[in-house]
Amino acid sequence: MGTHDTRSRAGFDGAVRRAGTFLSGLLPGLLPALLAVNTLLAIASPVGAEDTAAAETSSGSMQKMIDQQLDKIPSGDEGVNQIMGELTDKLTLTPDQQKDIRPSIVDTVAAMEKSRDRFGAGEITPMAMAMQIQMAGQKAAVLIEPVLDEEQMVKYKALRQEQRRQMMQAMQQQQRAAGAAGAGGSQ
């Protein structure tokens, strides 16, 4: 079991280092979902055997934390409206642009819901869910870009850059926290 924990932790650390590559196509509005999935990765990746034992004794609180993070993933019409609202506000989308972009957002939210449900059913790992959500966001970003005018495209790229920065910062903070928890747990 200790070997599995070490491999899980190594896999998580590698994923954090590679995150910059995956974050290149972020869709504005998905940051809360990606941060939630990142938190799930941290929760699901124990640092060591001591943490595994502690996690087993507090599995109820861990499940509650997991459920709270899953609830942050946009879903249904509310999720679509949340993302569309953010895009509309930050990019000053016209009604025609909103009409053109909305189907992509509906598909993205549906893909995120499906990934969340598959994770909840134990069919996929947190990392697989993160990858699927990221891929859905990248696909939507590719479909949105042609709809934007030059000024909106500048804003859009700036939004994506800021979102990548925030995501990387959050991942680094979680990695430091996990490292501190591991160091504290081994004393």
Where are the chain's structural domains? 2-185
N-terminal to C-terminal alpha carbon distance within the chain:
20
Is the pLDDT assigned to residue 153 strictly greater than 90?
yes
Provide the 3-class DSSP secondary structure of residue 26.
Answer: coil
- Report the pLDDT averaged over residues 122-150: 88
Is the whole-model pTM more than 0.75?
A: no
Choose the weakest-confidence range: 17-26, 31-40, 60-69, 130-139.
17-26
Confidence band for 128, pLDDT divided at 50, 70 and 90: confident
Please, are residues 94 and 2 in contact by the beta-carbon 8 Å criterion? no
Q: pLDDT digits over 39-48, tens only?
A: 666 655 544 4
